[in-house]
Structure 1
Amino acid sequence: MAKVSIVVPVYKVEKYIENCIESLVSQTLREIEIILVDDGSPDKCGEICDVYAARDNRIKVLHKKNAGVSAARNDGLLQASGEYILFCDSDDWMEKDACEKLYSAATKSNADIAIGDVYMAYDSGEKKAVKFYENEFCIEDRDRIDDMIRADIYRTYCVNPPKEGVAFGYGGPWNKLVRREMLLDNEINFDLRVKGVFDDILYTAYILYNAKRICYIHENVYNYRMVASSITHSYKPNVIEINNAIFCCWNEFFEKTGNKDKYLKPFYACVMRRLEEAIKLYFVNDKNEKALSERIKELKRVVKSEPYKTAAQCVDVKKISKKQRMLAVMIKYHLIFMVMFIKNFR
C-alpha cells in the first residue's frame, strides 16, 4: 500500500500540467501513488497524463466526461489506496519533500491530518511564503479544533494567526495530508451541489470536525499559482443559486455537529463575502445584459431574504472588509440600489 495518494483533477491546464506532474514524480517520499483525473479536458492534458503514466507505474490516469473539479476529486478519491490522501491542483506544484515532511509529521504524532504552509507563486517568478498559524502544534482539544473550523468558515476568525496577519486559504485541501480511513469511515468527499465553489472549504470543515488529532508544521509544502484569469473572477449568472447551495451545506454541517452557535458569527461574515462576490460576478458584471432596473429589483429581493438579511444585522463589522461593511449598512438602511453606481464593486 502506498503511504500517500496524491489526487490531481486535470482540466485545461496544458501550459502547467507537466510542471505539476514533475513535482509529484520527483517527491523524496517514493512510496506514493499519483492519480491524475482527466476531467474531459479539451486540450492535450489527457495525452500528457498518459505519457507520464507509461513512464512511471506509480501514476494512474482516469479519463472521464467533464463534470467539474468536485466530481473529479471524488472520482480520484475512490481510486486511491494510500494510507493518507493529498490533493493537488493541476496548475500548481508541490515542493519535492512535501509528502515526506507531511507524512513524517502525521505518523510521528499519529495525526489524522497534517497541515503545512504554502507559497503564493506569481508568473513573474516571485514566490511569497504564507504561514497559517504563529506556532506549530499538535492538538486533540475540541475547542481548539472548533477555532480552526471557525477560521475555515471565515479567515479573520483565526485565533492564533502569524504576526503578519491572517493568511488566505485556511480551507484549501492542497496543504493537508488526511488519513484515508477517516475519510472513508465518515463518508467525507467534495459536495457537488456547490459547483466547485466553496467545496474545498466545506471538505476542510468536515475533516477538521472528524479528526481526533491534528498537527501543523512550519514547512512550505505547496506552490499555489496566482492566475489572473481564474474562474472565480468570471461572470456567473447562477451565483445566487450557488450561494444558496453553500448556505444549505453549511446549515447541514451545523446540524450534524450541533455547534451552530459557535459558528454563527463567522458564518455571517461568510454570507457577506458571498454577497460581495455575487455583486461582482453577476449584478454589476459587464456581461450581465439585464436592464439596470431589473438587476436592482433582483438584488433587493436577494438582500431581503435569509441568510443575507440576518447576516447584515448581526455580522461583526470588525471582522469583515470595508466593502462588506458598506453592504451591511446599505442593507440596514434600504440603500442597496446604490451599489449599482459604485465603481468599486465593478
Structure 2
Amino acid sequence: MRLSIIIPCYNMELYLKECVDSLLDQQMTKTEYEIIIVNDESKDATLQIAQTYSSKHSNIHVIDKKNAGVGAARNSGFDIAQGEYIYFLDPDDYVAQNTLPLLLELCKKNDLDILTFTTKSVVSKPYPYSRNIDSFNPDVPLEIKDGITYIADKKHKNEIWWYLIKREFIKNTGIRFIEGKWMEDAILTAELFCQAKRMAHTNLDVHRYRILPTSAMRNKSPEHYNKVIYDNANAAHVFDKLIATVPKEHENAQACIKRLKTRQQSFVFFLMVRLMKSDISVSEIPAMLSDFEKIDAYPLKKFIGEDYHGIGYSCLVFVFNRKPLINPFIKMFRSFYTLTQ
C-alpha cells in the first residue's frame, strides 16, 4: 500500500464529506491507499458519515474512540496505518484533484523521508483543481536536503497537512504527537524535520486550508483560550530540548538553531498576544517570563527578523520586552477590548 491518510475528527459533520470526496477523486485504486477516519467522540453526525463511507469503500476505515484530543486521535490512526507514506489531513480541509499520485511518485523516485508541498487558504468558494497540475513536470529534479538544512533555508509551517512522511522513517524515530496539548503538530513537525535525512519541496498546488471562525485555534471560550496559552508555554520549553539536539558539527547547525529559536520565541510572542485578551491574572506573568528567561526564550531578542517583521510585531515586542510596561499595557488593552465587544 502506497499511502495512509489519517483524519482526526471532532464534530466535523459539515465538512467531512468534502474532505473524503476529495481523497476519493485521486485516480488511485483502493489497494493503493487507505483513509483512516478517527472519530474523537463527536457529538454530531460525524461518526455516522464516516461509517457510511466505510460501508461503501473497502479502503476507508473508522476508529471510534473516547475523546482525548487531536494528538491522541492522530496517534491512534498512525498505529494501524499500513501505507508506505503517511498523510495527516484535517477534516475541514481537502486536497486538489489527482495531486496525491504525483506526490507519491516524487517520494518514491527520490526516496524521501518527507515531501512538502503548497497550500491555499479558502473560505467558502471551492477550489477542487490544482492551479499548476497541467504544467507540472514530475521529472524536474528536486532539491534534496537533510532536515537541518531545510529548516535553515526555509521558513516552515507548524502544521502537518502540508507534507507527506515515510512511515518507516517516522516509526524509526519513535516520534509521536504529544497528547492532551495544543501545538502538538508544531512540535512534531520540528522534531521530524530535525531527524530527516532526505527532504524536498515541490511547488505543486495540493492542499486546501479552510478558514473557519469556529476552528480550535480560534475558539474564544475562556477555558480553551487559556489552555492554548499554557500549551504555547509548553511548546517553548519543548523547543529548548529540541534545539539542544541539533548536532553542532553540522555545517548548517547555527542557521537551523537560529530559526528554531525564532520559532520558540514566536510561541512566547503569541502567548503574550493571547494573554492580552484572556482572563488570566497579570500576576501570573512574571513567573512565566522568569521561566522563559531560563531557556533564552525571553526577552524576545531573536523573534523579529526574516520570518517575523513589520511595525505591528515590532511595537508589541517593544512592549513585551519591557517588564514594567507589560501589566499596565495589558490592563489598558483589556479595558478597551471589553468596551468594544
TM-score bracket for this pair, using the shorter chain length: 0.7 to 0.9
The partner residue of 1:183 within 155, 163, 170 is 170
* Counterpart contact for 1:138–1:214, Cα < 8 Å: no
Q: Residues 137 and 240 of structure 1: is their aligned pair in 2 closer, same or farther, counting only changes over 3 Å?
A: farther
Report the CA distance shift for 1:124/1:68 in structure 2 as closer, same or farther (over 3 A).
same
Tell me the CA shift for residue 140 of structure 1.
Answer: 4.6
The AA in structure 2 aligned to 1:302 is M
Give 1:121 deviation, angstroms.
1.1
**What whole-Å deviation, never above 9, does each CA across 1:291-320 have from its counterpart, x for those lacking one?**
xxxx33223443344248753253253343
Amino acid corresponding to residue 265 of structure 1 in structure 2: K
CA contact (8 A) 1:303 1:309 kept: no
Q: Does the CA-based 8 Å contact 1:283-1:299 persist in structure 2?
A: no
**Larger displacement relative to structure 2 (78-87 or 328-337):** 328-337
Letter of the structure 2 residue corresponding to residue 275 of structure 1: V
Decide whether the 8 Å contact of 2:152 with 2:259 is kept in 1. Answer: yes
Cross-structure match for 2:101: 100
1:213-235 Cα distance to aligned partner (Å, 9 max, x none): 12221211111101122221224
Cα distance 1:316–1:8, how it changes in 2: closer, same or farther (>3 A)?
closer
The answer for the alignment partner of 1:284 in structure 2 is 277
Distance 2:300 2:35 in 1: 47
Partner residue of 1:253?
242
Report deviation, 1:243: 2.5
Q: Which residue matches 2:330?
A: 339
Equivalent residue number for residue 274 of structure 1: 267
Counterpart mapping for 1:81-100 below 5 A? 81-100=82-101
Taking the aligned partners of 2:195 and 2:12, their CA distance within structure 1 comes to 33
Q: Which one of 285, 301, 317 corresponds to residue 304 of structure 2?
A: 317
Secondary structure at 1:191 match in 2: coil
Q: Which residue of 2 aligns with 1:330?
A: 319
Q: Tell me the CA shift for residue 182 of structure 1.
A: 0.6
Q: Report the counterpart of residue 219 of structure 1 in structure 2.
A: 204
CA RMSD of aligned residues (A): 3.0
For 1:262 and 1:201, how far apart are their aligned partners in 2? 19
The 3 A distance-change label for structure 1 pair 253 and 45 is: same
Q: TM-score, normalised by structure 2?
A: 0.81
Looking at structure 2, the residues matched to 326 and 128 of structure 1 have their Cα atoms a distance apart, in angstroms, of 40
TM-score normalized by structure 1? 0.80
Q: Which secondary structure does the structure 1 equivalent of 2:194 belong to? A: helix
Distance in 2 (CA, whole Å) between partners of 1:53 and 1:39 is 16
SS of the residue 1:82 aligns to: coil
Q: Separation in 2 of the partners of 1:325 and 1:128?
A: 38
Q: Are 1:205 and 2:190 matched, yes or no?
A: yes
Select between 25-34 and 70-79 the one with higher mean Cα deviation.
25-34
Q: Distance in 1 between matches of 2:305 and 2:334?
A: 23
Equivalents in 2 of 1:313, 1:27: separation in Å?
Answer: 45
Name the amino acid aligned to 1:314: K
State the 1:64 CA deviation: 0.2
Matched, 1:170 2:157: yes
- Which residue of structure 2 lines up, in the alignment, with residue 68 of structure 1? 69
CA distance in 1, matches of 2:60, 2:115: 23
Correspondent of 2:284 among 277, 285, 298: 298
Distance of 2:131 and 2:151 partners within structure 1: 19
SS at match of 1:89: coil
Q: Secondary structure at the match of 1:192?
A: coil
Asked if 1:138 corresponds to 2:142, the answer is yes
Structure 1 130/28 Cα, relative in aligned 2: closer, same or farther at 3 Å?
closer
Residue 281 of structure 1 aligns to which amino acid in structure 2? R
Q: Letter of the 1:224 partner, please give it.
A: Y
Q: Structure 1's 282 and 130: CA in aligned 2 closer, same or farther, altered over 3 A?
A: farther
The alpha-carbon distance between structure 1 residues 268 and 25, as it changes in their structure 2 partners (threshold 3 A), is: same
Aligned residues of 2:71 and 2:179 also touching (Cα < 8 A): yes
Identity %: 23
The answer to whether the 8 Å contact 1:117/1:175 transfers is yes
